[in-house]
Amino acid sequence: MIGCVATLLAASSISAKDRITVNPDAVNTGSILHAWSWNFPEMARSMQEIADAGFTMIQTSPVQQCYAPEGSGKKIFDENVTEGNWYYYYQPTDWKIGNNILGTKEQMQEMLDSAAKYNIKVIVDVLPNHTAFDVDAVSEDFYKAVGGRDKMFHSNGLQPVQDYNDRLQCTLWGSGGLPDVNTENPDFQKYYLEFVNELLDMGVRGFRYDTAKHIGVHSDPVDTASGVKENDFWDVATGRKAVKGVKLALPYDELFVYGEVLQDKNVPEKEYADYFGQTASGYGWLLREALEKHSAKGIDLKSFHHEAAPEHLTTWVESHDTYANAHESAHLTDDQIRAGWVFLTARQNGTPLFFSRPAGSTRTNYYGNNVLGARGNDEFKHPEVVAVNKFRTAMAGQREDVQISDSGEVLLVNRGKKGAAVVNISKSANFVDLPTGLPNGTYRDVVHNKEFKVKGGRLTGVLAPERSYILMKK
């Protein structure tokens, strides 16, 4: 029998950070490079280039032991399912550091030391919600730590979700068919938190929680059939309470944490905001729609379309899921992705994440060279990407003013009186004539050395197709 706790515990809200009330003066200056499928040595070797490209954070793929059948770990995607697949490392078999895709714990430490040298914060993708499909592949150490196989999963955890808008199914059944872990089991919480604390001790300073919306909050149904009394996983994971003498090793506010809470019906965004930042997945969908149509006409790109305040959102043009899972963004050209990135990153709020596409990938060959662990393509250090990353940092304290042409083809992000980013998302040459806060004068774009003029509070200039320009007050 599954009961329900209908109210959010007041005690857990008292010390919570307010992530709902918008602060108009809040300005995000960081940016994340998602080094998807890069192994630890590749990250370590590339750290200076990442820093030089203006990124302040790097997000790794999952680092825990994962499903690794013999012969796997070679290809990002193998239709014959013999030489590996990217989604294997999203199937935990134990909460111990190191796997056959990213590398060993020692190699991870070398990567973290390299990141510290260049003042790059490392975020690790963690996924406590589920185990590998093959429950026999889960380590006996893991089962023993949580009290045995019968204690590992929710009472209906092996039953696939049929209705993702049903919060009972969403949080207590198997998401994507993956066995749903009993995250409220104190033995599991202790074992998982010890893994997290080990990462923190090594130098990790943030986490991305995969399938976060599938781990219940206090208002969600409680799996009383598994002996659960309350949905307290997030209280433990965010350091509000200890479990069996173990507590988060660092003050939670020192960490950058966001959850993959994909937007849909009946998702308690406000309640999740009580614990962490969230993904602005709906905004990413709208931005891609504008890029596909080569116009934002009729599309609201000013609002982030989320119940949480924009300063607490992680934003993207595309994610590894939109690229590799359903391929919904994989057809967009690098030029289109870059145009969207410049617009997104020039904005005042959200923390933008740049997904590193596989090396050699094309719009007909999404996996390119198809080598797991290899560095992605060089788009992360394209001059326009670098320019807007550095623009974002330089615009600390500057409020945004977003302007869009009547045609929807030209996007302009003004940042106070200090700078502006101009993006032409059309496939044709264009002309900008929009209001700006920049003082009167002649400006040259920092990437292409293109001339623009400001007179009477309006910015004018000619734009090449699908090109971005960064203007800075000297």
Domain harbouring 342, CATH code: 3.20.20.80
Which entry of 94, 180, 184, 210 is annotated as an active-site residue? 210
How far apart are the C-alpha atoms of 27 and 400, rounded to whole Å? Answer: 9
- From 42, 260, 445, 466, the catalytic residue: 260
pLDDT higher than 50, residue 227: yes
- Residue 165 and residue 105 share a domain: yes
Does any domain span residue 419?
Answer: yes
Domain shared by 403 and 387, yes or no: no
From CA 448, how far away is CA 311, in angstroms rounded?
30
Strands 64-66 and 419-424: unpaired
Q: Are residues 417 and 310 in the same domain?
A: no
Distance of CA 162 to the CA centre of its chain: 26
> Do 412 and 265 belong to one domain?
no
Whole-number pLDDT of residue 305: 97
High-pLDDT (> 90) share of the chain, %: 94
397-431: per-residue pLDDT in tens? 999 999 999 999 999 999 999 999 999 999 999 99
Provide the number of structural domains found in the chain.
2
Residues 228 and 294 in one domain: yes
Query: What is the β-pairing status of strands 92-97 and 121-126?
Result: unpaired
Handedness of CA 206, 208, 214, 219 (dihedral sign): positive
Listed residues 397, 421, 453: the one ending a domain = 397
210 catalytically annotated? yes
- For the question of whether the overall pTM of this predicted structure is more than 0.75, the answer is yes
Tell me: pLDDT of 102 over 70. Answer: yes
Neighbours of 292 (CB within 10 A): 13
Residue 83 corresponds to which amino acid? E
Q: Are residues 343 and 407 in the same domain?
A: no
Range of the domain at 252: 27-397
Question: Do 324 and 266 belong to one domain?
Answer: yes
Asked if pLDDT for residue 112 goes beyond 80, the answer is yes
Query: Is residue 93 in some structural domain?
Result: yes
* pLDDT tens profile 257-272: 999 999 999 999 999 9
Sequence-ordered list of residues with C-beta below 8 angstroms from that of 439, at least 6 positions apart, any chain? 417, 454, 473
Residue that terminates a domain, selected from 397, 418, 441: 397
**Assigned domain for 285 exists:** yes
Question: pLDDT tens across 308-343, in order?
Answer: 999 999 999 999 999 999 899 999 999 999 999 999
- pLDDT value of residue 16: 76
Residue 286 has pLDDT above 60, yes or no: yes
409 is catalytic: no
pLDDT reading at 6 higher than 90: no
| 216 and 248 co-located in one domain | yes
State what percent of residues in the chain have pLDDT above 70: 97
Determine, yes or no, domain membership for 338: yes
Across the range 355-359, mean pLDDT stands at 98
Answer whether residue 468 is part of any domain.
yes
357 shares a domain with 422: no
Q: What is the CATH number of the domain that holds 411?
A: 2.60.40.1180
Q: Is there a single domain that holds both residue 381 and residue 452?
A: no
301 domain-assigned? yes
End-of-domain residue from the set 371, 397, 423: 397
Indicate whether 375 and 420 sit together in one domain. no
Q: Is residue 21 part of a domain?
A: no
Question: Which are the contacts of 461, defined by CB distance < 8 A and separation ≥ 6?
Answer: 422, 431, 432, 450, 451, 452, 453, 469
Q: Is residue 101 part of a domain?
A: yes
Residues 49 and 163 in one domain: yes
